[in-house]
Structure 1
């Protein structure tokens, strides 16, 4: 019997990150997740939009060269392809100036992207794609079709609204936060922070979310599934940059989570390993093969921490 090939759809920004003194790199959190899911052997589709301009044509050509499907990336003559001015500080952390009123701010709902959601195993999305009413409305319509909604909170000032985050969390099956985002969302909700377990249980109860992930930087990553908590350490590597490390972590998580019989250990080992592997390389979407990653993972075995 042929093994099922799982499929994820990633909704939102596809863009060019422009770094000082470097060539531009393809980016956008949803696309980064799609790239790594594809590398892990999953079927992926990206629902986004680029401009009918030189940057858009170049972006589409590069994605096609990677053999990642572009069927649901819309091309518009009304808005330009997105560019982001990126900088990296002394701690190798990236900061972004995200230009507004670009193509992915105006993603259209189509019969085709509704159909692809009906057969997908997961829909991945973030907060940034809701900054414009057009893409926000499209996303909310697609969330009603998908049965497994994965919300990568990914707060980028000033492009978020707690009312929208609140609505999105009510439609979410898996929510991923970093440490700062967890605290921020609790503050928005007027919930006092005491500890991570209390915070997660509060969010699970308030929004009916069974699964919550918290990436904790050098202190590892925490996965809560209903009443069970799994804490895993980071893998020590020489950090080239942290751009897209959270996106690769999420892709690693989903690449195992969508396999229904996979254990929490296998899920988190894949997530932490892929995040570390990408952090040890330059860029959010470096060239690599699945075998490259497997070799890295096998040479860096992981055990859970007590929590």
Structure 2
């Protein structure tokens, strides 16, 4: 089981609001949080500072049952943070540079050699050479599938680097807007997706389209589409994409058909937008999905 884990590489951080409120997050962390609730026991690979924020993260992970095996502690650098300010009523995000997650150490990795299962990563945590080199080491010894979750955060991405990551992936998920930034529009959305999937030789490309739902194309150029239910109540869209990715990874791990993955990922993401924040600390929230998707044996194990 250990060698078949879903492994997630990347950032864990706090969103720091002007009123002093702190919200724990980071796309890979949010995805790992959901997968733990679904009984997957993921291996979360990141780095925090030797500070109060790092201690808070460790306590939160332990209380949720997440393993700390590959959560490294940096002796000098701070735990990741995003400083949020509001200008003219609109939030502005300053993703602070030189944070602990930028320096994930290859020498401190545990239990990763020749791992199978699925390896998930985004693009933000690869902005610095140290974490990028560590990820390359992971990738070179990984025997399973690679899932890239594109998160383009200005100014922390370069198109050449993102293209390189996509060329090494098996599955990719990105938003409709991110697709347009990376691929010149070729007529319809479906045609643009077809060209993009082919150019990166992806097994599956998934594109989220906000309130319009999501689409996917596989290596046989078959398209699948899902739309949200009419009665979706939106409280907070933060973390909806991470919820979608978590279920996509769950489906990869258990060989669900792509249309079923789309349906279940959209349903879970729609439920998440009805909640405040990117994670849920109430296990009962997950019970309906655990029952409907027949995951109870994973929780018992």
Question: Is residue 179 of structure 1 aligned with residue 176 of structure 2?
Answer: yes
| Runs of at least 5 residues in structure 1 that lack an aligned partner in the other structure | 299-307
Task: Give the match for residue 218 of structure 2.
Answer: 225
RMSD: 2.6
Alignment counterpart, residue 131 of structure 2, candidates 110, 113, 135: 135
SS in 2 for 1:116: coil
Say if 1:87 and 1:9 are closer, same or farther in 2 by CA, change over 3 A.
farther
Task: Give the match for residue 245 of structure 1.
Answer: 240
**Structure 2: distance between partners of 1:110 and 1:120:** 20
Work out whether residues 5 and 43 of structure 1, in 8 Å CA contact, stay in contact via their aligned partners in 2: no
Instruction: For residue 255 of structure 1, report the CA deviation from its aligned partner.
Output: 1.2
Work out whether residues 7 and 42 of structure 2, in 8 Å CA contact, stay in contact via their aligned partners in 1: yes
Deviation sequence 1:229-269 (CA, Å, 0-9, x none): 11000234221111111000110122122212x22332112
Question: Is residue 55 of structure 1 aligned with residue 48 of structure 2?
Answer: no
Task: Give the match for residue 188 of structure 2.
Answer: 195
Say if 1:292 and 1:35 are closer, same or farther in 2 by CA, change over 3 A.
closer
**Structure 2: distance between partners of 1:32 and 1:9:** 13
Instruction: For residue 49 of structure 1, report the CA deviation from its aligned partner.
Output: 0.3
**Structure 2: distance between partners of 1:265 and 1:200:** 16
Say if 1:90 and 1:122 are closer, same or farther in 2 by CA, change over 3 A.
farther
Work out whether residues 33 and 66 of structure 2, in 8 Å CA contact, stay in contact via their aligned partners in 1: yes
SS in 2 for 1:17: strand
Alignment counterpart, residue 141 of structure 2, candidates 142, 145, 148: 145
Task: Give the match for residue 288 of structure 1.
Answer: 282
Alignment counterpart, residue 249 of structure 2, candidates 243, 254, 278: 254
SS in 2 for 1:78: coil
Instruction: For residue 90 of structure 1, report the CA deviation from its aligned partner.
Output: 11
SS in 2 for 1:139: helix
Task: Give the match for residue 151 of structure 2.
Answer: 154
Task: Give the match for residue 95 of structure 2.
Answer: 98
When normalised by structure 1's length, the TM-score is 0.86
Question: Is residue 272 of structure 1 aligned with residue 266 of structure 2?
Answer: yes
Work out whether residues 178 and 216 of structure 1, in 8 Å CA contact, stay in contact via their aligned partners in 2: yes
Work out whether residues 274 and 293 of structure 1, in 8 Å CA contact, stay in contact via their aligned partners in 2: no
